[in-house]
């Protein structure tokens, strides 16, 4: 790792629940203990849990509401119930009630088509708060944590991720550890944007491997260097071996299945503070990552 270069590592997957946050939290702790300036970002804005894997946060130093989308506001005095907006809304967020247009904000994606097609200029777009960014200046492990949370029923997750990463840029760091959402949607694309290196995490199941192919297509599209971790490899050793054979030199390491991980996280104990075999396996992966950076 070049001491003069800021690096951004994204921990990503296709399938959810494969161990991204466990790995992200552990690597952040290890790099911090090695003297690197770390900043961590939880970019799974629908279900952020990196704080839990870091042992919990007693309080946030700052909580910032953000607005990255607009939603329509209907002027009922101007609306004559023509239904043009209802007919063109692809998200079925608009309907007619008492011969007036009515919005179901939970369905609305804020695209603004309704405003464009309204012949009476009865619809205006208005900015709404759709998420909150929580900031911890220093966790128990002496590095900042930025965690974004999308409000229930709101959209704009990709833009929220960009806002969270922007908050992280305000801190001094050598390495930004980004815990991505699962899948291949907007929040994942935003997490991958301007990344230097991606750690992909999978498990030995057909569904996880199928989703891995999808996220790999996105990573390759952005031309980001990557390597792969197989979590719970011993639950299906034959499948794991097939994955190893396919990716060969891209394998960073393997982590075995251990039910005690769930006991540790339920008591807010980070893996790096346990005596589990998992800890030693992640430390080995950490050393392999250092060789690749």
What is the set of domains in the chain, with CATH numbers? 7-66+131-292 (3.40.50.300), 69-128 (3.30.70.20)
Q: Is the pLDDT of residue 3 over 70?
A: no
Average pLDDT score over the chain = 94
Q: Three-state SS for 274?
A: coil
Nearest Cα residue to 84 out of 68, 69, 72: 72
**Within a 13 Å sphere around the CA of 27, how many CA atoms are in the beta-carbon half?**
29
Average pLDDT over residues 131-160: 93
Summarize pLDDT for 228-259 with one digit per residue, the tens. Answer: 999 999 999 999 999 999 999 999 999 999 99
Any bridge partners for residue 42, and if so which?
147, 179
State the pLDDT at residue 292: 76
Q: Quick one: angle between helices 237-247 and 206-221, nearest 10? A: 20
Percentage of residues of the chain with pLDDT beyond 90: 90
Q: Cα separation of 229 and 213, whole Å?
A: 14
Q: Three-state SS for 21?
A: helix
Q: Is the pLDDT of residue 273 over 80?
A: yes
The Cβ of residue 276 has, within 10 Å, a number of other Cβ atoms equal to 18
The pTM assigned to this predicted structure is 0.89
SS3 breakdown of the chain: % helix, strand, coil, rounded to 5?
35, 25, 40
Instruction: Return the exposure string of 166-197: e unless at least 16 CB atoms fall within 10 Å of the residue's CB, then b.
Output: ebbeebebbbbbbbbbbbbebbbbbbbbebeb
Nearest Cα residue to 150 out of 125, 133, 167, 163: 133
Contact residues for 235 (Cβ-Cβ < 8 A; gap 6+)? 203, 204, 257
Average pLDDT over residues 188-210: 96
State the pLDDT at residue 1: 52
């Amino acid at each position: 790792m070049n001491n003069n270069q800021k690096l951004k590592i994204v921990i990503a997957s296709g399938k959810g629940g494969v161990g991204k946050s466990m790995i992200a939290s552990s690597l952040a702790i290890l790099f911090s203990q090695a003297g690197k300036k770390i900043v961590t970002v939880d970019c799974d804005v629908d279900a952020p849990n990196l704080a839990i894997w870091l042992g919990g946060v007693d309080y946030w130093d700052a909580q910032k509401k953000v607005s990255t989308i607009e939603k329509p506001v209907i002027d009922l005095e101007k609306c004559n119930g023509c239904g043009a907006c209802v007919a063109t809304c692809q998200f079925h967020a608009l309907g007619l009630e008492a011969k007036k247009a009515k919005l179901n904000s939970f369905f609305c994606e804020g695209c603004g088509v309704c405003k464009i097609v309204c012949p009476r200029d009865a619809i205006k777009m208005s900015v709404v708060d759709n998420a909150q960014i929580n900031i911890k200046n220093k966790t128990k492990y002496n590095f900042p944590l930025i965690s974004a949370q999308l409000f229930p029923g709101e959209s704009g997750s990709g833009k929220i991720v960009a806002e969270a990463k922007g908050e992280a840029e305000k801190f001094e760091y050598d390495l930004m550890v980004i815990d991505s959402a699962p899948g291949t949607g907007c929040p994942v694309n935003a997490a991958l944007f301007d990344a230097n290196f991606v750690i992909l995490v999978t498990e030995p199941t057909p569904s996880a491997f199928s989703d891995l192919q999808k996220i790999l297509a996105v990573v390759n599209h952005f031309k980001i260097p990557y390597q792969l971790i197989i979590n719970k490899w011993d639950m299906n050793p034959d499948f794991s071996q097939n994955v190893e054979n396919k990716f060969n030199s891209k394998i960073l390491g393997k982590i075995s299945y251990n039910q005690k991980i769930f006991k540790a996280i339920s008591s807010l104990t980070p893996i790096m503070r346990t005596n589990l075999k998992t800890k030693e396996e992640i430390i080995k992966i950490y050393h392999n990552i250092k060789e690749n950076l």
